[in-house]
Amino acid sequence: GNSVTQMEGPVTLSEEAFLTINCTYTATGYPSLFWYVQYPGEGLQLLLKATKADDKGSNKGFEATYRKETTSFHLEKGSVQVSDSAVYFCALSDQSSASKIIFGSGTRLSIRP
């Protein structure tokens, strides 16, 4: 079945450091790929998405490219801020049921001032 594997956390970085959170997926067909972010005590917010191979999703300085050849969707940001501290979830939605989202286990990111 479809699944998402993402980098184990927690990840701790200093402010202005470069961020990469790895994500790989297993899926049949052509799923849409997402990164969601969850701040403490909150629900999930969609950070970015990509719906086909080679698409690049971007938002708030974060980027991820849909790589079908490596089945990956790694999240990157050039210079992180303290306010980026949160839990990040990589996810995919099945072609047959786009509202049924399969999530990775989440990566907790902490940014030191």
Interface contacts to another protein, rule CB under 8 A: 32, 36, 41-46, 49, 51, 89, 93, 97-106
As measured in angstroms, the least distance from the Cβ of 95 to another protein is 9
As measured in angstroms, the least distance from the Cβ of 57 to another protein is 11
User: For residue 91, what are the β-bridge partners?
Assistant: 34, 103
In terms of Cβ atoms closer than 10 Å to its own Cβ (0-12, 13-18, 19+), residue 25 is buried
C-beta closer to another protein: residue 27 or 80: 27
C-beta closer to another protein: residue 47 or 80: 47
C-beta closer to another protein: residue 12 or 105: 105
C-alpha separations of 67 from 44, 50, 51, 84 in Å: 24, 10, 11, 24
